[in-house]
Chains A and B, each alone.
Chain A
Amino acid sequence: MISAHTPGGGHGTGLFGAVLVLGAALSAAGYLAAAARLRRRGDGWPRHRDALFAAGCAALAGAAAGTPPGGPFTVHMIRHLVFAMAVPPVLAAARPVTLVLRTLPAGPPRRALRAVLGSRPAALLLFPPMAAALDVGGLWLLYRTPLLSRSAGRPLLDAAVHLHVLVSGLLLAFAVCCLEPVRHRWSLAWRGGALLAAGAAHAVLARTLYATPPPGTAFATADLRRGAQWMYYGGDLAELALASLLAADWYARTGRARRRAARRETAFPGASAPREGVRTGRVAGRRVVPGCSALFRLLASHDQQRIPAPGRREDEPGTARCQGPRPGSGGHGPDRTVHRSRPAARTGAAGGPGAAPGAGP
Chain B
Amino acid sequence: MSSRSVPPPPAGPLPRPERSLAVCALLGAAAMAAVDEIVFHQLLHWHHFYDRSTSGVGLLSDGLLHTAELLGLVAGFFLFADLRRRRALAPAHAWAGLFLGLGGFQLFDGIVDHKLLRVHQIRYGVDVTGYDWAWNGAGAALFLLGAALAVRARGRAPGGRTAT
Contact = CB atoms under 8 A, between A and B. Distances in A.
A8 interface: no
Contacts of B1: 255
B75 A243 contact: yes
A236 B85 CA distance: 28
The 7 closest A-B pairs by CB, nearest first: A199-B67, A203-B63, A247-B78, A204-B63, A243-B74, A262-B6, A200-B63
B64 A251 contact: no
Interface in A184-241: 192, 195-196, 199-204, 207-208, 210-211, 225, 228-229, 232, 236, 239-240
A33 interface: no
Interface string A247-283: 1101100110011001101100100000000000000
Interface residues of B, number: 33
A146 interface: no
Contacts of A208: 50, 59
A202 B6 CA distance: 44
Please indicate which of the listed interface residues B62, B66, B86 has the most CB atoms of chain A within 10 Å of its own CB: B66
B125 interface: no
B67 A239 contact: yes
A265 B49 CA distance: 55
Given A204-B59, A259-B6, 17 more contacts: A192-B71, A192-B75, A199-B71, A200-B64, A200-B68, A201-B63, A203-B62, A208-B50, A211-B51, A211-B52, A239-B71, A240-B74, A244-B74, A255-B85, A258-B3, A263-B6, A360-B5
A239 B5 contact: no
B5 A207 contact: no
Contacts of B73: 240
A357 interface: yes
A262 B67 contact: no
Contacts of B82: 251, 254
B8 interface: yes
A46 interface: no
Interface of A: 192, 195-196, 199-204, 207-208, 210-211, 225, 228-229, 232, 236, 239-240, 243-244, 246-248, 250-251, 254-255, 258-259, 262-263, 265-266, 269, 357-358, 360
Contact of A207 (B2, B3, B62, B75): B62
A196 B73 CA distance: 13
A211 B66 CA distance: 19
Contacts of B6: 258-259, 262-263, 357, 360
Contacts of A358: 2, 5
A250 B78 contact: yes
Interface in B1-40: 1-3, 5-10
A358 B2 CA distance: 7
B60 A247 contact: no
Contacts of A225: 49
Contacts of A266: 7
Contacts of A211: 50-52
A234 to B, nearest CB: 13
B70 interface: yes
B35 to A, nearest CB: 15
B148 interface: no
17 contacts: A196-B67, A196-B68, A199-B63, A200-B63, A207-B50, A208-B59, A210-B49, A211-B50, A232-B49, A244-B74, A246-B74, A247-B78, A255-B85, A258-B86, A259-B2, A259-B6, A263-B6
